[in-house]
Amino acid sequence: MRAGKLLRLARGNLVRELPALAVSAGGVALGIGCLVFFLALGVGLQGVVNDVFPVSTREVEVVVPQMALGNLLGEQKLDDAMVDRLRKLRGVSAAYPKMSLRIPAVTRYNGLFFGREIHMGLEIVATGLMPELVGADAHAPFQDEGPGKPIPAVVNRRLIELYNKVFAPQRGLPQLTDSMLIGFQIPIELGRSYVAGKTLPNMLEGSLQLVGFSDRATLAGVSLPLAVVKRVNQHFGAEADSYSSVLLRAHNADDVSEVAAGVKKLGLEIDETERSRALQIGAAVELVTLALSLLAGLITCLAAVNTMQAFYASVRERTREIGVLRAVGATRSDVAAVVLAEAAATGLAGGIVGVVLARVVGLLLDRLSRTGLPDFPFKPQTFFHFEAAQVALGIAVALLASLLGAFLPARAAARLDPAKALSES
Amino acid sequence: MSEPAIALRRVTKRYPPREPGAQPQELLCAVDLEVQRGEFVAVEGQSGSGKSTLLHLMGGLDREFEGEVRVLGCDLRALSDVELAALRHTQIGFIFQSFNLLPALTALENVLLPDFFGNGVPDADRRAREALQRVGLEDKANARPSALSGGEKQRVAIARALLARPPLLLADEPTGNLDARTGEGVIALFRELHQDGMTLLIVTHEARVSHAASRVLVLRDGTLFPDDAAHSMETR
């Protein structure tokens, strides 16, 4: 039986059975709508998590183990020799050492801050980064210009979000953008602490100049050129030959496990604090998405059962017609194909309606979030990420559910004895 | 001499007992019948005498019987389900008392129904329109069955049976639901088909249909009798 003729025959029955089949299609639409909605929500929330905790699948942060025996003996160090060894590990494409500013530093700002008079004193935590790591995120040279010159600094992009959504509204300060802040200078006193209430000998005074925002910058503090941090640490007699951590970039994500194994062989370990936090939140989102998708799957299963009942009723009502089809030359499989074609059409309609329903509800909720929810850090423009794969999956599941639901009725229709079917009153 | 269009040898049909422990109900008892190609045979009988069952057996719609049924040279018991469907599709036209049109399809689509199955019917659309013209319903091609009278429905059903131009037409009480005038029209159509060389076997309890046939048989107590023998039995 050719597809065109099959559809022509099924179409007539669908029109006639529309009210009953609309209920079945509605059930499928509800299940598929929930499935696509929850999948899109899961992917959307995962995107939010990735924005808040950006984790590269190709990179690992190497640190000295806190409890290493060699460390206690003063042997285990992340010095230049070790960085070279790390760089030569199989699978590593680049190594970027980082160094903490190992002396206290403060800033004291008194004056106009974008139209507001502020008086501020803050402890500064700083980390030195290689210019290559910051790359194009710095809008001015990210290097040591020498003593007495403003020190270029980059700040983590997430800090400006926290400032705008939490700090600024509470203190009545203006909202800031990247472009407003780049080039802004604040004074810095190196070798001084307000908290400890002490000032180191040979304290240095200078200024920090913001040259960019970068996801590479430390979240807790500011990031300075590595050479500046080395010079300042040396100036105060602090450790300047060993690094606090080294960022290793693998050639590709598949090499990361091999790189991690090499790192462990060198007696070092991978700092997974931020990575594991992101992974945990991501896993929680995945788990909730999975649970909700299972719920949607359950609704779709119930819709399949409803489809089965509707098609059983339809086959019972059309017993005589099925006998006629057999009399004019239909085989058992032709009869089953007619019923399954009707089920496929029902499932397809339910799937399309479900996908549209999910999209519309997603748009409405996003709109509600934009207008009804207070602004909070990292509040996304949308909580949903609809993909073609979800649409395809939704429609495929709808088709499958309807075909499975109609399978037994189709088999029953195919097995009808034509003589008995024609004798049905 | 060519093989008969229909040949039944000692065909027995039993229905399972209605109550546990009872005897199976025997509707046809060792029936023998030969219908030659081009013959117009009417089978008369009371309601419930087994006429429709006989028709279903000859049409390959009922395969649970004892004996041998050969239609157009094919032993129906030896055919697979698909082969039987192909035989019905190309060689046998069915007409039913209650028309059995599909309500969701138009008159033309109902006539085209055999074209939906198997390898279809060559030049089906033209043939369907010709068949509708032959039964005088060319202007009702797009009407749904609900918009047709009983006579019109039956004529659509006849057009459907003629679509594949089968050599054998089996009709079950074709005038049973029609008024006298409409019934006459249908009978006239059967005469035409017979004159065209088609083999017709019609089960009926109406004398007007039997009068049109070239041979009349009577089904009584599960056995087929020639019409005159049946009358003589009644006389005795």
Enumerate the β-bridge partners of residue A233.
none
Chain A residue numbers with beta carbons less than 8 Å from the beta carbon of B62 are 417-419
| pLDDT band at residue A1 using 50, 70 and 90 as cut-offs | low
Q: What DSSP state is assigned to residue B28? A: E
Tell me whether residue B197 is in a domain: yes
Enumerate the β-bridge partners of residue B40.
B200
Structure tokens of B147?
A: 């918009």
Mean pLDDT of A38-60: 85
Pairwise CA distance, residues A354 & A395, whole Å: 8
> How many domains are there within chain B?
1
How many other C-beta atoms can be found within 10 angstroms of the C-beta atom of residue B30?
14
Establish if B21 touches chain A: CB-CB under 8 angstroms. no
Calculated CA dihedral for residues A192, A196, A197, A201, nearest 10 degrees: -40
A162: three-class secondary structure by DSSP: helix
Tell me whether residue B68 is in a domain: no
| pLDDT band at residue A274 using 50, 70 and 90 as cut-offs | confident
Does A331 sit within 8 Å of B82, measured CB to CB?
yes
Examine the pLDDT at B219 and tell me if it is beyond 50.
yes
The pLDDT tens digits for A56-92 are 778 889 999 876 555 555 567 899 999 999 999 999 9
Tell me whether residue B75 is in a domain: no
Establish if A6 touches chain B: CB-CB under 8 angstroms. yes
Of B53, B94, B115, the CB nearest to A327: B94
Question: What's the pLDDT at A71?
Answer: 53
Residues in chain A: 425
Tell me whether residue B184 is in a domain: yes
Q: Which amino acid is at B200?
A: L
Nearest partner of B3 among B31, B34, B30, judged by Cα: B34
Structure tokens of A164?
A: 């705008």
Q: What DSSP assignment string belongs to A41-102?
A: HHHHHHHHHHHHS---TTEEEEE--TT-HHHHTT-----HHHHHHHHTSTTEEEEEEEEE--
Nearest partner of A240 among A248, A228, A231, judged by Cα: A231
Tell me whether residue B96 is in a domain: yes
Beta strand A222-225 pairing with B92-95: unpaired
CB distance B212 to B189 below 8 Å:
no
How many other C-beta atoms can be found within 10 angstroms of the C-beta atom of residue A273?
9
**A410: left (phi > 0), else alpha (psi -120 to 50), else beta?**
alpha
Beta strand A116-123 pairing with A198-213: unpaired
The pLDDT tens digits for B36-91 are 999 999 999 888 888 889 999 999 999 889 999 999 999 999 999 999 999 999 99
Using CA atoms, how far residue A110 sits from A107, A195, A320, B146, in Å, is 10, 19, 93, 92
Tell me whether residue B4 is in a domain: no
Pairwise CA distance, residues A186 & A120, whole Å: 11
The pLDDT tens digits for B76-122 are 999 999 999 999 999 999 998 888 899 889 999 999 999 999 888 99
Does A1 sit within 8 Å of B117, measured CB to CB?
yes
CA angle at B228 for the pair B222 and B233, rounded to the nearest 5° = 60
The enclosing domain of B213 has a CATH number of 3.40.50.300
Establish if A187 touches chain B: CB-CB under 8 angstroms. no
Examine the pLDDT at B8 and tell me if it is beyond 50.
yes
Domain with B129 in it: 38-63+80-235
CB distance A61 to A249 below 8 Å:
no
Question: What's the pLDDT at A129?
Answer: 96
Q: Which amino acid is at A177?
A: T
- How many interchain CB pairs under 8 A, A with B? 79
Establish if A16 touches chain B: CB-CB under 8 angstroms. yes
Pairwise CA distance, residues A417 & A266, whole Å: 78
Q: What DSSP assignment string belongs to A186-224?
A: EEEEEEEETTTTEEEEEEEEEEEEEEEE-TTS-SSSEEE
Enumerate the β-bridge partners of residue B172.
B203
CB distance A362 to A386 below 8 Å:
yes
pTM, rounded to two decimals = 0.74
* Phi and psi, residue B198, nearest 5°: -75, 145
Task: Estimate to the nearest angstrom the gap between the alpha carbon of A193 and the chain centroid.
Answer: 39
Does B105 sit within 8 Å of A324, measured CB to CB?
no
| pLDDT band at residue A330 using 50, 70 and 90 as cut-offs | very high
Question: What's the pLDDT at B235?
Answer: 45
Structure tokens of A160?
A: 């400006």
Examine the pLDDT at B17 and tell me if it is beyond 90.
no
CB distance B159 to B183 below 8 Å:
no
Q: Which amino acid is at B119?
A: N
Does A12 sit within 8 Å of B102, measured CB to CB?
yes
Of A16, A320, A419, the CB nearest to B61: A419
Q: Which amino acid is at A228?
A: V
Establish if B88 touches chain A: CB-CB under 8 angstroms. yes
From the CA atom positions of chain B, what is the Rg in Å?
Answer: 18
Q: What DSSP assignment string belongs to A332-389?
A: HHHHHHHHHHHHHHHHHHHHHHHHHHHHHHHHHHHHHHHHHSPP-TT--S-S----HH
Please state the ipTM of this predicted complex.
0.89
Q: Which residue has the higher pLDDT, A222 or B134?
A: A222
Structure tokens of A368?
A: 């509600």
CA-based nearest residue in chain A for residue B85: A329
Tell me whether residue B15 is in a domain: no
Nearest partner of A99 among A83, A115, A116, judged by Cα: A83
Q: What DSSP state is assigned to residue B48? A: T
| pLDDT band at residue B1 using 50, 70 and 90 as cut-offs | low
Examine the pLDDT at A168 and tell me if it is beyond 50.
yes
Enumerate the β-bridge partners of residue A96.
A247
* Phi and psi, residue A126, nearest 5°: -135, 150
Nearest partner of A61 among A224, A328, A246, judged by Cα: A246
Mean pLDDT of A99-106: 95
Examine the pLDDT at A183 and tell me if it is beyond 70.
yes
Question: What's the pLDDT at A408?
Answer: 96
Mark which residues 231-260 of A lie under 8 Å from B by CB: none
Tell me whether residue B20 is in a domain: no
Q: What's the gap in Å between the CA of A21 and the closest CA on chain B?
A: 15
Does A9 sit within 8 Å of B89, measured CB to CB?
no
Pairwise CA distance, residues A362 & A380, whole Å: 13
H helix runs in B59-175, sequence order: 81-91, 107-111, 124-134, 150-162
Mean pLDDT of A191-208: 91
Residues sharing a CB contact under 8 Å with residue B64, sequence separation 6 or more, in sequence order: B13
CA-based nearest residue in chain B for residue A4: B116
Of A321, A330, A423, the CB nearest to B117: A330
Q: What is the mean pLDDT of chain B?
A: 88
Percent of chain B past pLDDT 90, that is, above it, reads 58
A418: three-class secondary structure by DSSP: helix
Mean pLDDT of A253-275: 87
Question: What's the pLDDT at A26?
Answer: 93
How many other C-beta atoms can be found within 10 angstroms of the C-beta atom of residue B19?
6
| pLDDT band at residue B236 using 50, 70 and 90 as cut-offs | very low
Chain B residue numbers with beta carbons less than 8 Å from the beta carbon of A422 are 56, 61, 96, 100
The pLDDT tens digits for B138-196 are 899 999 999 999 889 999 999 999 999 999 999 998 888 778 888 888 899 899 999 99
Examine the pLDDT at B234 and tell me if it is beyond 50.
no
Question: What's the pLDDT at A75?
Answer: 63
Pairwise CA distance, residues A131 & A135, whole Å: 6
